[in-house]
Amino acid sequence: MSGQLYHTPAEIVTQLMIDLGLADGPETTNGLTGWTVFPLQFREDPEQALQVKDTAGRLHGRSQITGEAGEHYGIQVLARSSQDVSTPYKKIKAVLAFFDTQVRRESVTLFDQDNFMNRTYRVNAITRTSTAVPAGNDGRRFFYSGNALASIELASSMLTGTGS
């Protein structure tokens, strides 16, 4: 979809993955999934982690009424693990399969620091555009990645401040 997003697609999809239980957030202290997901860039720890990055999306014509172009946002998910090469491969396969089969008009809410309000997005679908792809290693950890297109639109904005 198109329209203004106040957060990057990677930030929105990262929160969606946390909300749906695919991974734990970076600030989670009692991780339940064994995987921590980070938007935009990895942290050094933990050894077993996911990263969601923004990539090239796809434009789909434009509205004759508003002139606005339709857009599906590109994302890449990377998995790393020091256990063995099959661990990040299996996780990327599971994440991509989950996107294909389970993401249907999901709501994601993030706080907009610039405007001091929550922004709620609707993730209509995430469609993979690749299979699991080996992404090398850094000498101690193995990496796999997968690419997808996300249909995301701003659903609503709600004030969350205490007001004055």
Please say whether the beta carbons of 157 and 130 come within 8 A: no
pLDDT band with cut points at 50, 70 and 90 for residue 156: low
**Model pLDDT for residues 71-93, shown as the tens digit of each residue:** 899 999 999 999 999 999 999 99
Would you state the CATH architecture of domain 9-159? 2-Layer Sandwich (3.30)
Phi, psi dihedral angles at 6 (to 5 degrees)? -95, -10
Residue 1 has pLDDT above 70, yes or no: no
Residues 38-64: tens digit of each pLDDT: 999 998 889 999 999 999 999 887 766
Nearest to 15 by CA among 123, 98, 105: 123
Domain residue extents for the chain: 9-159
